C-alpha cells in the first residue's frame, strides 16, 4: 500500500499530537507559574517527548507525501523557523527563565508563537492569520 493512502491517518495523528502538545505546554506553563513540581516531573516530560516525537514523525511523513518541503515552500519554512523559536521560548518558560517575570513573558510569547504556527499550517500561507486581512 502506498504511503499516500495513509495520508488521512497521518494527518489526524499530526493534528492530534499538535493539540496534545499545545494543551500539555499550556498546563505545564500554568503549573510552573504556580510553582507546582508536576510541571517538570519526569513522567510529564517523557510523555511530552513521546508526543513531540509522534508530532515530528508525522510531520516528516506528511512533507514526503505532499512533496512540500521546508526551504522550498515558504509556509513550511516559516513553520519550521517558528517551531525553533517556540522551543526556545518554551524552554525559557518551563525551566531556563531565571525569574518568574522572565518565565511568564516567555510563556506568553511561546503560546503566541504556537498560535501563529497553527495559523500558518491552517492557511498554508507564511503570513498565517494575517493573510486573511489581505482579502
> How many domains, in total, are found in the chain?
1
Q: What is the pLDDT of residue 67?
A: 93
Helix (H, G, I), strand (E, B) or coil at 70: coil
Q: What is the pLDDT of residue 135?
A: 67
Low-confidence ranges of the chain (pLDDT < 50): none
What are the CA-CA distances from residue 24 to residues 30, 34, 37, 93, 102 (Å)?
10, 15, 15, 13, 20
Q: What is the pLDDT of residue 115?
A: 98
Q: What DSSP assignment string belongs to 9-31?
A: HHHHHHHHHHHHHHHHHHHHHHH
- Which residue, among 61, 63, 58, has the nearest Cα to 76 in the 3D structure? 63
Give the range of the structural domain holding residue 13, as residue numbers without chain letter.
3-134
What letters, b where the CB count within 10 A reaches 16 and e where it falls short, cover 116-135?
A: bbbbbbeeebbbbeeeeeee
Q: What is the pLDDT of residue 106?
A: 98
Q: What is the pLDDT of residue 1?
A: 76
* Predicted structure pTM score: 0.91
Alpha-carbon gap, residue 87 to 83, rounded angstroms: 6
Amino acid at each position: 500500500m502506498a504511503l499516500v493512502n495513509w495520508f488521512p491517518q497521518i494527518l489526524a495523528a499530526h493534528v492530534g499530537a499538535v493539540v496534545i502538545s499545545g494543551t500539555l505546554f499550556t498546563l505545564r506553563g500554568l503549573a510552573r507559574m504556580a510553582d507546582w513540581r508536576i510541571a517538570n516531573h519526569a513522567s510529564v516530560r517523557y510523555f511530552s517527548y513521546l508526543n513531540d516525537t509522534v508530532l515530528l514523525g508525522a510531520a516528516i511523513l506528511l512533507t514526503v507525501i505532499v512533496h512540500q518541503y521546508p526551504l522550498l515552500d515558504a509556509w513550511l519554512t516559516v513553520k519550521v523557523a517558528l517551531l525553533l523559536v517556540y522551543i526556545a521560548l518554551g524552554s525559557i518558560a518551563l525551566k531556563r527563565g531565571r525569574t518568574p517575570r522572565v518565565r511568564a513573558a516567555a510563556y506568553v510569547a511561546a503560546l503566541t508563537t504556537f498560535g501563529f504556527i497553527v495559523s500558518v499550517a491552517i492557511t498554508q500561507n507564511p503570513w498565517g492569520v494575517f493573510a486573511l486581512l489581505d482579502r
